[in-house]
Structures are given as C-alpha cells and as structure tokens.
Structure 1
Amino acid sequence: INPYEVLGVDPACEGKDIRRAYHKLCLKYHPDKNTGFRKEFDRVQVSYMVLSDSKKKARYDRTGVINLGSGADDAEAEDFDWTDYFRTQFDAISKEMIDKDREEYQGSAEEREDIKKELVALKGDMSKLFEVVIHLEFTIEQEKRVFEICQELIDEGEISDKSIPKWNTYVLKRDQNVKKMERKRCREEKAAEKVEKKRKETGE
C-alpha cells in the first residue's frame, strides 16, 4: 500500500497533518462506528505506523518499502505480528473514546479555527468541510450548525469575501446542496450495510 495515498497526505506534510488525517480516517472507518470497513481501518493503522515514525517514513520515502520492524532488519519486519498490532489498535480506539473526543471538540475554539482554515482552503465550498474537518459528519442538523459558524466568521471579518469565492454559490444553492449531501449520506449508509451483511454471510 501507499501510506500517503491511504491517509490522503502529501509527502512534504508535517506530523500534525498526518495525525489529523489519521484521526479523521479512524473516525470514518472504525468498525465500532461504521461496520464493514475493518480492512480500510487496518490499512489506515499501517499507514500511520509508517508515517508517524521518522525512521520508517524515511525508509519508505527512500525505497518505497514498508518496514514494520523496529529497526532496519528486513527479517524483523517479516516477523511482525500484524494480528496483534491490529487488535491492539482496534482496542485502543473504542467507540466511547471517539464519542468523548467528539464531544470535547465540537463547539470548541479548536473546531472553530479548523473550520475557518479549511473553509478558506476550500475557497468557500462548505459542502467539502464534512470531508476534511475531524468529527464533522454530514447531517441536516450539523450542516445548520456549521453554516452558522461559517456565517459568523464572515460577518465578524475573520474571513474575507475575496478568500472564499465559492461561498455565495453555496449559499444560493444551499437547499440543493443539503439535499445532495443527504442523498450521498443515505447511499453510503446503505453501501456499508451491504458490506457488513456480506461480511457476516461469508464469516470474514
């Protein structure tokens, strides 16, 4: 696997960006929260294990090879216990921990700053915020809450109109955008249900 592609980060990104991407994907794929995505969750764990360790990251950047050992010995990497590692990571990130972290994050100054930063990066396309801001998952209620935060940031001059050229378009077509995102959410839920049903039938 390509850990950069799995986490959706650039090779030149900083550690905090890697952690943020990792946390976002853990929320998206954790089996306790979204059934049917265990393989994706495991891929995220391996990718983060590589990119969060300076030595493993440097070796991957140099060779394109993922070394899961603690040193540079390939034999050690071959003996790496994947099952134990995945089980440890799965247990460490429980649904309760995710919910607690979300509760502390949403409505905080950190969330407000993240929304501000990402809205500017997206040039005002608020619909994409739900793909990049940690703990933000689209629902009609969440869209309303986030929209109010964005509007407040604009009204208070924390974001200039020139930096978010797509904002007015989002506002004008807000009803259509919300309906589109709701349809997408429903499709993803149904797809996840089908995957989980198949997993149970096959015993994977």
Structure 2
Amino acid sequence: MIKITNLHKIFSTEEVETTALNGIDMDIKDGEFVAIMGPSGCGKSTLLNILGLLDNPSEGSYEFYGTEVAKMSERQRAQIRKGNIGFVFQSFNLIDELTVYENVELPLLYLKTPPSERKEKVEAALTRMNMMHRRNHFPQQLSGGQQQRTAIARAVVANPKTILADEPTGNLDSKNGEEVMNLLRQLNDAGTTILMVTHSPYDAGFAHRIVNLFDGKIVTENIHI
C-alpha cells in the first residue's frame, strides 16, 4: 500500500517561496486506480513526481509498500523505482534512436535482466499492447497511439507494482485516447495499481477514485467502480 501523511512541498528561490502541496493525506490500496484532477498549478504533477519517487517532499511522511521514502537520496529512490514503478507520459518519452523493441527493453537493461528473460518479457509486453508487428520500427514511424502503446509496454515490461500516468491521452485524438485508457484499465483489472494525473473527466471515469486538488490541498474525493 502507498500512504502519504501531511505531505508538503515548498519551492524556494531567493525572492519567493511557493507552496505546491499543503498537507496532503492519501492511502492508496494495492490494485486501486486513482485519478488526480484539478486546475493548472494546483499541485497535481508535483504530487505525482513525489509519488513516483522523482522528488522528495519538504515535510511529511511517504510510505511506499512498507518503506519510508520521504527523506531518501536520489540514488536510494532510484533503486526503489527500478522494477517497482512504471511511467507513462503525455509526450511518450521514447528515444528516437532506438527501435520499439529497444525502447521497451530499456527497463530490463537497467535491472540487468538476463538476455533470454529480456527477450521473453519484451515480446510478451509488445504482444499485450499489439505492437509486435512494429517491433523493428522507430518512434517517428509510428502514429501517436502506437507511440503511447509502446510507452505503456515499456512501463509494464518489468511487471511493476505501480504505474504512474501523467496526462496519458493528452497528445492523442479521441479514438486513440479511448484505446489507451482501455489498456490502462485492463492492466488495473489484472492487479496493477495506477495513479493518473488528468484534465479529462472522461479519462478520470476509468478510475475507482477521483481526487480533486486545489491550491495544493485535496478538496474532494469521489469514489466509484
């Protein structure tokens, strides 16, 4: 389970101090699908970065599957991220010089997975995302929907406990966006915990719970299945 308590994040410069998160409390159960919504500047992406162990809070507690991570160094956070968290971004974040297969393989290379096991896992992830027929193509040869399916395959290839998605349909048309959301829901139905930042009420409708932020605070939560 993921548990955050009284979480604060303050960004400071010589001239100004900005509070991005102001006392966030959340419990996220294994296998839950949570959508985080709110206006621009409300703290959504800051919260997702902390949940994804890309940043530390200024104050508060963050327990990630039994480990307190709020004050860890970047190196310690990186070790926990490996194999435990997959990321899906609005901009896909694929490496142009690598093929679809090579992009999906990257997390396994970081984990030093043996070659035979890498091949099995990459092919399984690509098959799951209906991208095996594009495995030797480069990102610029793909449609937006195919790029995002490749990014999701990369996110799931190491079988992480949690996937963090930041506006996963933001660069897609409605047809491809719906396909991506159906894929995320299928992953969630299979047991993967998903935390998603979105501006889209339609996308948020795929989640079990919608958390609304305003000025760095949770203002409402809506629960539905």
> Could you say which TM-score interval applies, normalised by the shorter chain?
under 0.3
Q: TM-score when scaled to structure 2?
A: 0.24
User: Structure 1 or 2: larger helix share?
Assistant: 1
Considering only CA atoms, is the larger Rg found in Structure 1 or Structure 2? 1
Q: TM-score when scaled to structure 1?
A: 0.26
User: Structure 1 or 2: larger strand share?
Assistant: 2
